[in-house]
Structures are given as structure tokens and as C-alpha cells.
Amino acid sequence: MRMSEEIQQMLDENIVYLATSTPEGKPNVVPIGLVHAISDEELLIVDVLFKKTRRNLEENPEVAISFTDFKRLESYQLKGKAKIFKTGEIYEKAFDIMKDKAERRRESLGKVGDPEISERARKISEMHKRLKPRAAVLITIEEIYSHIPESKERR
């Protein structure tokens, strides 16, 4: 299933929520910032902190991702299958995604006026510098749904 250019852009610009589950069906959902479409049918998520998510991915590849873009007033669910890469070309892409996202974060946080939030952002930035990709998770998209009722599914 192909993602539109717009969906690919929205993935880059928003926090998305990744749902996994145990083989028995117990769900787990986490926010994700390190996500990037590498083709119109595949996206990469960088595992820097996964725990339960990683265990679930190893035992059950079925995932769902949900996000809302408030700028465009669009909201989607994507479903697909995940594969974990710990070495090789796909894994190497995780470093580029981290670099690119760090740049985006710096740009958007530069616009924050509140000093308390700026300080929190600085601390988070420092923490991010110490994070290393443990794996790249390649998700092949199989289904796309709009969360907006009555809306035509735009892809």
C-alpha cells in the first residue's frame, strides 16, 4: 500500500504512536519521534529506548501506527509488518534519521519563548546526544486508514 507524499511528510513532522502486541494479543503503544519514510511503502523507526516494544516486535511483527497532524488537520492509521535490522545498510540509515531529526528539533525549539521549556529542551537534547541506535525497524505498510470520519481516504 502506497503512502502519499503528504503522509510521508506528516510522518517526518509529527510524533507518531506505535502499537505492538504480544503473540497472545496484549497491546502496547509508545510515542515515536525517530520515524522516516524510506520509500512510499516502507518506513524506518529507530530503536533507541525500546523495551516492551522490542520484545513484542521480536515475537510478533504486526504493528499499527497512528498520528494526527494539527497543521493540516489530517489523522491516519497505518498498519504493517516490522523487521528488525541490527547491522547493514538499513541499520546505517538509522544514524542519518537521528541526525536529521536532531536538526529539526533544534530548529523548532529555537522558536520556544518559555525559558523553563527551553531548559527542558536543552536537557532532552543532551540526553539525545548519548543515545545510539540499537536497531532500525523497517515497517512495510499494508493498510492505510484516515481517522477523520466520513473523509475520503487520501493516500
Ligand X SMILES: Cc1cc2nc3c(=O)[nH]c(=O)nc-3n(C[C@H](O)[C@H](O)[C@H](O)COP(=O)(O)O)c2cc1C
Which residue, 52 or 81, is less far from ligand X as judged by CB? Answer: 52
The DSSP secondary structure of 82-117, one letter per residue, reads: EEEESSHHHHHHHHHHHHHHHHHHHHHHTT---HHH
How far from 45 is each of 63, 73, 122, 142, 147, CA to CA, in Å? 12, 23, 23, 16, 22
Contact call for residues 76 and 10 (beta carbons, < 8 A): yes
Q: How far is the CB of 71 from ligand X (least distance, A)?
A: 17
- Report how many helices (DSSP H) and strands (DSSP E) the chain contains, helices first: 4, 7
Q: How many binding residues for ligand X (CB under 6 A)?
A: 15
Choosing from 26, 51, 72, 86, the residue that interacts with ligand X (CB under 6 A) is 51
| Grid cell for residue 108 | 523548532
78 sits near ligand X (criterion: CB under 6 A): no
Site string for ligand X, 10-49 (x = CB under 6 A): -----x------------x-xxxxx-----------xxxx
Q: How far is the CB of 106 from ligand X (least distance, A)?
A: 16
Which residue, 54 or 155, is less far from ligand X as judged by CB? Answer: 54
Q: How far is the CB of 26 from ligand X (least distance, A)?
A: 12
Q: Which helix (H) or strand (E) holds 67?
A: strand 62-69
Residues within the interface to ligand X (CB under 6 A): 15, 28, 30-34, 46-53
